[in-house]
Chains A and B, each alone.
Chain A
Amino acid sequence: MSQWLNEVIDSASDVNDFLAPARQAALADLKNEGWPARRNESWRFTPLTPIEKRTAVAAKTVANAEIPAIDNLNAIDLVFVDGVLATELSSIEVPEGMAIIALNTSDSAAQSSITDMFGSVKPARHLFGRVNDALSTQGVFIDVNADTKVDTPIRIINIATQNVDAHSRVLVNVQANASAVIIEQSVGNVDSLTTAFAEYSIADDAHLEHYRFAMVTGSAKQLGGSHFKLHNRSTLNSTVVGYGSELSRLDVDIHHAGEFADAKMNAIYLLAEGELFDLHSTIEHAMPNGTTEENARGIVGDKARAVFNGRIHIHRDAQKTLAELNNRNLLLSRRGVINTKPELEIYADDVKCAHGATVAEIEEEALYYLLTRGVSRSKALVMLNFGFIQELINDVPNEAIKTWLLPVLSERFSHMEVK
């Protein structure tokens, strides 16, 4: 057993709020399951050693933190600094047609909605998801009224500024025929641990535009997940961007719980130095006539390591499913590592399902050719290798985010070392 997990279990026993039954169940699981063995498939390429012997530190409030700017986004910002909702940094105005409620609310109607949703989308299998279940007294519940289209993006920001354990939870209920834009963003580079899990229920005919920017770097450790349940004819368009850090793991689950749902997800990761980013994607088709298209593309430089685990599970009743998952990687350095693993489980016979993964290296000859024409090395590398990332950026539905993302990512890329 790890020291950290022991301390987590101790502190979780003291949590006593209206979510106590769910928290106790999670706690029981943590006690039973214990710390994952080194051979545990789920953590095979992502060693948990940076956390194993860590001392757990409860979240503390701090006075201030810098909010990462996205020009012209005009979002409602909900800011968590070191795991605590910083109301003075957050926007108070709530767009019409939705409710935003802090998880520590005393309103009993809200408590009941939160209790209903908490843990109803996120699978229980993930160790750190269970830790989050047990300890996430901080978080928000966002409820979008039926038949309401909310254009104003809601951005939930996790900022790590000091060495604490931060556990926050996001619950989003997009009611029937409604639509919303939600951004989850995390930043920080100091030694710290964040678990940030979000659950989304997208009701019949509803639409969610979603972004997850897992941008912690350095020794900030992050374990998080975005989990989606899609009901009849609902649609999801999600964009994930991952930077690596000492330990950064993101689990994305897309669960087709209704018929004719359509999910599209693009993921980009750019890793430098000794960074690690692990993206575990699970697509569950439980009902017929659903479609999923997922593209994950990454560039790995220097000694960095990318892990991509893409699972598609098509249940027996999910006939006429169309599921495509594609993972493309570019390895800039001999010392970099990419572990990409497809997992297909198909129990229905009338489905179309495709899964592909590739790893390419820098084409020396093409690079030389561009250089002989006077093009700078960094520009040449961007021209040759950034195109497949740029394609996904061009796909981003929100203009402000697209405009912000392109220079941010090409800047990060141009500093990545080729060796």
Chain B
Amino acid sequence: MLSIKNLHASVEEKNIIKGLNLDIKPGEVHAIMGPNGAGKSTLGYVLSGRDGYEVSEGEATLNGKDLLDLEVEERAREGLFLAFQYPVEIPGVSNMEFMKESVNAMREERGEEPLTAAEFLKKAKAACKQVQLPLDFLKRGVNEGFSGGEKKRNEIMQMILLEPKLCILDESDSGLDVDALQVVADGVNSQRSSERSFIVVTHYQRLLDYIKPDFVHILADGKIVKSGDASLALEVEKNGYAFLGKEYQGEEA
């Protein structure tokens, strides 16, 4: 599914990702943990193609396609989905208008007919219900005035509608209470399948109680320094990142 080899990337000429390797097979859930400043969010931005994130070395392919060669929207149409840590508020563009455009862009990519307004509305209502967002959120401006938890649920709703192949969840648990966390996790779990893979970026082991990972990686100073199964997350929870040694502990925000 996703193959990252020796990836180096920088932001404003500062090297953040420094030789990262990661291989993800269909259906797998990989958790990425690590201290602040390790490059966890940067990885999502680099893979999605955000402006200003420069790749200087290495490669990243999604189902054999060179991701780094594609525009942001083309990567999305290839099936890459990034759930934002801080979803952007866009007043003046309704959630509904945005998602309809988006879903139909994906359908066009797959050679399918665009959904009619009625067909789309039916799907959108179901997705809205699944993440427990009131239906009037569809009519509101994208994330406009949403609470932190509502924004995160809105991200999961988009994921459900867009049916991506690879989902990167960037701290989808941050700022959520237990109930909201359960809703987000249920949404994610409902989408797990043998065809779809996940990268779950998180600070806390807590989320991994709800979304069980197949692998846990520790990202420090721009590369993966340790990999293991779910027990690695428990170890981090208990002992922190002390085992990394001083040079890897990063800056606490």
Contact A373 B102, beta carbon cutoff 8 Å: yes
Interface residues of B in 196-210 (CB under 8 A from A): none
**A388 partner residues in chain B, CB cutoff 8 A:** 92
- For B45, the closest partner residue in chain A by CB is A368
Task: Tell me whether A375 and B50 are in contact in the complex, defined as CB-CB below 8 angstroms, given that A369-B84, A369-B90, A383-B93 are known contacts.
Answer: no
- For A364, the closest partner residue in chain B by CB is B51
**A371 partner residues in chain B, CB cutoff 8 A:** 49, 71-73, 76
Asked if A372 is at the interface of the complex by the 8 Å CB criterion, the answer is yes
Asked if A365 is at the interface of the complex by the 8 Å CB criterion, the answer is yes
Contact B76 A374, beta carbon cutoff 8 Å: yes
**A372 partner residues in chain B, CB cutoff 8 A:** 48, 72-73, 75-76, 81-82
Contact A375 B90, beta carbon cutoff 8 Å: no
Asked if B85 is at the interface of the complex by the 8 Å CB criterion, the answer is no
**B162 partner residues in chain A, CB cutoff 8 A:** 373-374
**A365 partner residues in chain B, CB cutoff 8 A:** 88
Which of A366, A368, A374 sits near B109, CB closer than 8 Å? Answer: A374
For the residues of A in contact with B, the DSSP-based class is helix
**A379 partner residues in chain B, CB cutoff 8 A:** 101, 105
Asked if A370 is at the interface of the complex by the 8 Å CB criterion, the answer is yes
Asked if B106 is at the interface of the complex by the 8 Å CB criterion, the answer is yes
Least Cβ–Cβ distance between A261 and chain B, in angstroms: 33
The count of residues in chain A whose C-beta lies closer than 8 Å to any C-beta of chain B is 19
Give CA–CA (A365, B90) in the complex, Å.
Answer: 10
Task: Tell me whether A377 and B93 are in contact in the complex, defined as CB-CB below 8 angstroms, given that A366-B88, A368-B51, A370-B98 are known contacts.
Answer: no
Mark interface residues in A349-393 (1 if CB within 8 Å of B CB, else 0).
000000000000000111011111111110110011001100000
Give CA–CA (A365, B106) in the complex, Å.
Answer: 21
Asked if B30 is at the interface of the complex by the 8 Å CB criterion, the answer is no
Tell which of B50, B81, B97, B101 has the most Cβ of chain A within 10 Å. Answer: B101
**B93 partner residues in chain A, CB cutoff 8 A:** 370, 383-384, 387
- For A390, the closest partner residue in chain B by CB is B92
Give CA–CA (A376, B84) in the complex, Å.
Answer: 19
**A387 partner residues in chain B, CB cutoff 8 A:** 92-93
Give CA–CA (A383, B96) in the complex, Å.
Answer: 12
**B76 partner residues in chain A, CB cutoff 8 A:** 371-374
Contact A373 B158, beta carbon cutoff 8 Å: yes
Contact A369 B87, beta carbon cutoff 8 Å: yes
**A366 partner residues in chain B, CB cutoff 8 A:** 88, 90
Tell which of A366, A372, A374 has the most Cβ of chain B within 10 Å. Answer: A374
Question: Interface residues of B toward A: which range?
Answer: 20 to 34
- For A380, the closest partner residue in chain B by CB is B73
Which of B84, B87, B98 sits near A375, CB closer than 8 Å? Answer: B98
**A375 partner residues in chain B, CB cutoff 8 A:** 73, 98, 101-102, 105
Give CA–CA (A373, B77) in the complex, Å.
Answer: 8
Task: Tell me whether A384 and B50 are in contact in the complex, defined as CB-CB below 8 angstroms, given that A374-B77, A375-B102 are known contacts.
Answer: no
Give CA–CA (A309, B111) in the complex, Å.
Answer: 50
Least Cβ–Cβ distance between B170 and chain A, in angstroms: 11
Give CA–CA (A380, B82) in the complex, Å.
Answer: 17
Give CA–CA (A377, B49) in the complex, Å.
Answer: 13
Least Cβ–Cβ distance between A419 and chain B, in angstroms: 13
**A370 partner residues in chain B, CB cutoff 8 A:** 90, 93, 98, 102
Task: Tell me whether A374 and B71 are in contact in the complex, defined as CB-CB below 8 angstroms, given that A369-B84, A369-B88, A384-B93 are known contacts.
Answer: no
Contact A368 B101, beta carbon cutoff 8 Å: no
**A376 partner residues in chain B, CB cutoff 8 A:** 73, 105
Interface residues of B in 173-211 (CB under 8 A from A): none
Contact B50 A368, beta carbon cutoff 8 Å: yes
Give CA–CA (A388, B99) in the complex, Å.
Answer: 20
**B101 partner residues in chain A, CB cutoff 8 A:** 375, 379, 383
Give CA–CA (A188, B77) in the complex, Å.
Answer: 41
- For B77, the closest partner residue in chain A by CB is A374
Contact A373 B98, beta carbon cutoff 8 Å: yes
Mark interface residues in B40-79 (1 if CB within 8 Å of A CB, else 0).
0000000011110000000000000000000111011100
**A380 partner residues in chain B, CB cutoff 8 A:** 73
Give CA–CA (A78, B28) in the complex, Å.
Answer: 70
**B109 partner residues in chain A, CB cutoff 8 A:** 374
**A377 partner residues in chain B, CB cutoff 8 A:** 71, 73
Least Cβ–Cβ distance between A93 and chain B, in angstroms: 42
**B99 partner residues in chain A, CB cutoff 8 A:** 373
Tell which of B48, B77, B90, B142 has the most Cβ of chain A within 10 Å. Answer: B90
Interface residues of A (CB under 8 A from B): 364-366, 368-377, 379-380, 383-384, 387-388
Sampled A-B contacts (15; CB under 8 Å):
A366-B88, A368-B50, A368-B51, A369-B88, A371-B72, A371-B76, A372-B76, A373-B102, A373-B162, A374-B105, A374-B106, A375-B98, A375-B101, A376-B73, A376-B105
Q: Which 7 A-B pairs have the closest CB atoms?
A: A374-B76, A371-B72, A373-B102, A369-B88, A374-B105, A371-B73, A387-B92
Given pairs A372-B75, A373-B76, A375-B105, 13 additional interface contacts (CB within 8 A): A364-B51, A366-B88, A366-B90, A369-B90, A370-B90, A373-B162, A374-B102, A374-B106, A375-B73, A375-B102, A380-B73, A383-B93, A387-B93
